[in-house]
Amino acid sequence: MPAQNKDVLMSNKPQCVGIDFGTFKTSIVASNGNRDSIMTAVGLPKDHIARGMLGCDEVFGDRIGQVRTAVNLVRPFDCGALKYTDSSAAGLSADEVNRRCKAAKSIMGEVVRRVELGTGPRYAVIGAPSQASDEAKNVILQAASPHFDAVMIVAEPFCIAYGFGHLVGTLVVDIGAGTIDVCPMFGTYPKPDQQYSASVGGDAVDRELLSLIQQAHPDAQVTLNMARQFKEKFGTVSDDQERAVVVMPVEGVPTEFDITDIIRDACRVLVEPIIEGIHKTVAMSDPEFQAQLRGNILLGGGGSQLRGLDRLLETGVEKLGGGKVTRVNDCLYAGAAGALKLCMAMPAENWEQLRSQNAKAA
């Protein structure tokens, strides 16, 4: 190892990270300049043959796609369970809860390994849905505590806004895989009842798209994963978009289908919940700031990439008094980068207080 790198690794400088621990993907940005993003999933070998072939007990990131048939996939927050829905409401058995919590720990361990932190005290700010339950926050804390000296959990849209310095007069809409979170920025940390969360996101679009394809083209062989890929390639809410021609097998023979209208209809399931979220959060806000919030609506999260969404939302908010909608440029890292900025801005004594609070909660 070069001497300079070794000095950095051996210093006592705090090692700060921001983490967006999403339903679909986990992104991490560290104060040492490293960052990475992987699917929020772990692949477990299906049997001892698979285990021997893989040479490990857990598979992460891009490798999961390469060995998909040899592993069982565990997505700890699948369908929003343990993230914004409690295990009892999601109908998870105790075994399933354990399996998911273990997976969450493993994924957290993997992303922390990937950013190669040094020896100083380790602090993390981690994004959670605006109205995450105590159980959900506890799952995040349990997953993170083996890797950090102190952890702070912050609403995901707040992280995005903080990262861009939009602390006043901005309404952030985070369109993730599991939830749409809307958070107004007033220059201070918003209370849970000032924010809005809907249990609908990219996963719901994928399920709708799969179902619409199956109805329209019953002969086509298609999976949920294929539907997600079609959406990510052609996703739009507009009428005037390029044709979405995809290939799906029919009895094993690759066949082309035009699913332009189906994709648009599936993607539009997000529009009403977003407009409702904007309406409710604006209505709950100080009346003197409502116009300012509507005039600065910032879309983040993977779902913000749907073509035409900004224009369609502007049309939707016209009946609420009109507004302007823009989207963040780097939706993959916007939340994690904002969380890192928060992490680095927090004074050391506050981290020390959190360290003892975390220890009591554990």
Ligand X SMILES: Nc1ncnc2c1ncn2[C@@H]1O[C@H](COP(=O)(O)OP(=O)(O)OP(=O)(O)O)[C@@H](O)[C@H]1O
Q: List residues near ligand X by CB under 6 A.
A: 20, 22-25, 40, 83, 156, 174, 176-179, 201-203, 228, 231-232, 235, 301-303, 305-306
Report the partner that residue 235 touches, choosing among ligand X, Mg ion, none (CB closer than 5 to 8 A by kind): ligand X
- Residues 6 or more apart whose Cβ sits within 8 Å of residue 124: 16, 17, 18, 19, 144, 147, 148, 150, 151, 152, 339, 343
Query: Which CB sits closer to ligand X, 71 or 205?
Result: 205
As given in the structure block, the two tokens for residue 286 are 């100080």
- Residues 6 or more apart whose Cβ sits within 8 Å of residue 165: none
Q: Nearest approach, Cβ of 306 to ligand X (angstroms)?
A: 5
Report the partner that residue 316 touches, choosing among ligand X, Mg ion, none (CB closer than 5 to 8 A by kind): none
Report the partner that residue 277 touches, choosing among ligand X, Mg ion, none (CB closer than 5 to 8 A by kind): none
How far is the C-alpha of 220 from the C-alpha of 316, rounded, in Å?
A: 35
Query: Which CB sits closer to ligand X, 70 or 266?
Result: 266
Helix (H, G, I), strand (E, B) or coil at 293: helix
Q: Nearest approach, Cβ of 266 to ligand X (angstroms)?
A: 11
Taking CB atoms, the residue at the shortest distance from Mg ion is: 176
Query: Which CB sits closer to Mg ion, 228 or 264?
Result: 228
- Residues 6 or more apart whose Cβ sits within 8 Å of residue 112: 17, 28, 147, 148
Map residues 284-323 to x or -, x wherever contact with Mg ion holds by CB under 5 A: ----------------------------------------
CB 20: neighbour CB atoms within 10 A? 31
Instruction: Decide: is 18 part of the binding site for Mg ion (CB under 5 A).
Output: no
Whether the Cβ atoms of residue 85 and residue 199 lie closer than 8 Å to each other: yes
Query: Which CB sits closer to ligand X, 118 or 301?
Result: 301
Report the partner that residue 25 touches, choosing among Mg ion, ligand X, none (CB closer than 5 to 8 A by kind): ligand X
Q: Nearest approach, Cβ of 160 to ligand X (angstroms)?
A: 10
Within residues 160-189, the interface with Mg ion by CB under 5 A covers 176
Report the partner that residue 268 touches, choosing among Mg ion, ligand X, none (CB closer than 5 to 8 A by kind): none
Query: Which CB sits closer to ligand X, 133 or 255?
Result: 133
Query: Which CB sits closer to Mg ion, 222 or 331?
Result: 331
Query: Which CB sits closer to ligand X, 70 or 180?
Result: 180
The residue range among 66-74, 86-94, 154-162, 218-226 that interacts with Mg ion, by the rule CB under 5 A, is: 154-162
335-to-25, 55, 158 alpha-carbon distances in Å: 12, 34, 8
Cα 268 vs. chain centroid, distance in angstroms?
A: 19
Report the partner that residue 110 touches, choosing among ligand X, Mg ion, none (CB closer than 5 to 8 A by kind): none
124-to-41, 121, 149, 340 alpha-carbon distances in Å: 20, 10, 8, 8
Q: Nearest approach, Cβ of 176 to ligand X (angstroms)?
A: 2
DSSP class per residue in 125-162? EEEE-TT--HHHHHHHHHHHTTT-SEEEEEEHHHHHHH
The amino acid at residue 77 is F
Provide the 8-state DSSP code for 110.
H
Helix (H, G, I), strand (E, B) or coil at 32: coil
The amino acid at residue 210 is L
Report the partner that residue 78 touches, choosing among ligand X, Mg ion, none (CB closer than 5 to 8 A by kind): none
Query: Which CB sits closer to ligand X, 25 or 355?
Result: 25
How far is the C-alpha of 343 from the C-alpha of 347, rounded, in Å?
A: 9
Report the partner that residue 305 touches, choosing among ligand X, Mg ion, none (CB closer than 5 to 8 A by kind): ligand X
The residue within the footprint of Mg ion, chosen from 14, 18, 22, 323 (CB under 5 A), is 22
> Which residues contact Mg ion by CB under 5 A?
22, 156, 176
